[in-house]
Amino acid sequence: MIVDNLANAANYFSLHPLFEKAFEYIRQLDMESAPAGSVEIEGKQLRASIVETALKAADAARLETHKKFIDIQIPIAKAETFGWKSLATLSLPDAGYDEGNDIEFFADKPSAMVTVQPGEFVIFSPEDGHAPLIGEGPTKKIIIKVAVL
Q: Give the pLDDT confidence of 100-142 residue by residue, as tens digits.
A: 999 999 999 999 999 999 999 999 999 999 999 999 999 999 9
Q: Is 113 helix (H, G, I), strand (E, B) or coil?
A: strand
Q: What is the spatial distance between Cα 76 and Cα 43, in angstroms, rounded to a whole number? A: 24
pTM (global) more than 0.85: yes
Q: Strand 37-42's sheet: what is its strand order?
A: 2-5, 120-124, 69-75, 138-147, 46-54, 37-42
What pLDDT sits at residue 4? Answer: 98
**CATH number of 12's domain:** 2.60.120.370
How much is the mean pLDDT over the chain? 97
The pLDDT tens digits for 18-72 are 999 999 999 999 999 999 999 999 999 999 999 999 999 999 999 999 999 999 9
pLDDT tier at 91 (50, 70, 90 boundaries)?
Answer: very high
Q: What is the spatial distance between Cα 139 and Cα 54, in angstroms, rounded to a whole number? A: 6
Q: How many domains does the chain have?
A: 1
**pLDDT exceeds 90 at position 84:** yes
What pLDDT sits at residue 127? Answer: 98
Rg of the Cα atoms in the chain: 15
- Under a CB-based contact definition with an 8 Å cutoff, are residues 25 and 121 in contact? no
What pLDDT sits at residue 98? Answer: 97
- Domain range enclosing 56: 2-147
- Tell which residue, 31, 64, 61, has the closest CA to residue 48: 31
Phi, psi torsion values for 111, nearest 5 degrees: -95, -10
Q: Is 76 helix (H, G, I), strand (E, B) or coil?
A: coil
**pLDDT exceeds 90 at position 95:** no
